[in-house]
């Protein structure tokens, strides 16, 4: 699976959009970009995934660049409950479904 690079930490004011970047310059054509988050002392929670088109769901939006070498997770209106570690993961769509977690970005949402 391709490696990803994320900033170790970010701050965001409550109510503002949180934009979390991820670099995956070695991604291959059939690898998807997944985003998970982990709130302290809980299991990770799936947020969103995509291949090459931008995606949006009730939690977030995922913007993938045209060359697919980077992506941005957008939380449109961050709340205190969005404070968590966010993981960007790239993986093949094989049946193994193995997820390899990097160090992630610790997002702190403040008042």
Partner 1 sequence: GAVVSQHPSWVICKSGTSVKIECRSLDFQATTMFWYRQFPKQSLMLMATSNEGSKATYEQGVEKDKFLINHASLTLSTLTVTSAHPEDSSFYICSAPAGLAAYNEQFFGPGTRLTVL
Q: How far is the CB of 16 from partner 1 (least distance, A)?
A: 26
Of residues 14-53, those binding partner 1 (CB under 8 A): 32, 34, 38, 41-46, 49
Distance CA 38, CA 85 (A): 5
Where does residue 19 fall: left (phi above 0), alpha (psi -120 to 50 degrees), or beta otherwise?
beta
7 binds partner 1 (CB under 8 A): no
63 binds partner 1 (CB under 8 A): no
Q: Which is nearer to partner 1, 49 or 69 (CB)?
A: 49
DSSP 5: B
Distance CA 59, CA 69 (A): 23
List residues near partner 1 by CB under 8 A.
Answer: 32, 34, 38, 41-46, 49, 87, 93-104
């Amino acid at each position: 699976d391709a490696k990803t690079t994320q900033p170790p930490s970010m701050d965001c004011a409550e109510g503002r959009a949180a934009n979390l970047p991820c670099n995956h310059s070695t991604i291959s054509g059939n690898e998807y970009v997944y985003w998970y988050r982990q709130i302290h002392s809980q299991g990770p929670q799936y947020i969103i995934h995509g291949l090459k088109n931008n995606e949006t769901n009730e939690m977030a939006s995922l913007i993938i660049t045209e060359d697919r070498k980077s992506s941005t997770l957008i939380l449109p209106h961050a709340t205190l409950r969005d404070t968590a570690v966010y993981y960007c993961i790239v993986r093949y769509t094989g049946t193994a479904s193995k997820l390899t977690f990097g160090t992630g970005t610790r997002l702190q949402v403040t008042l």
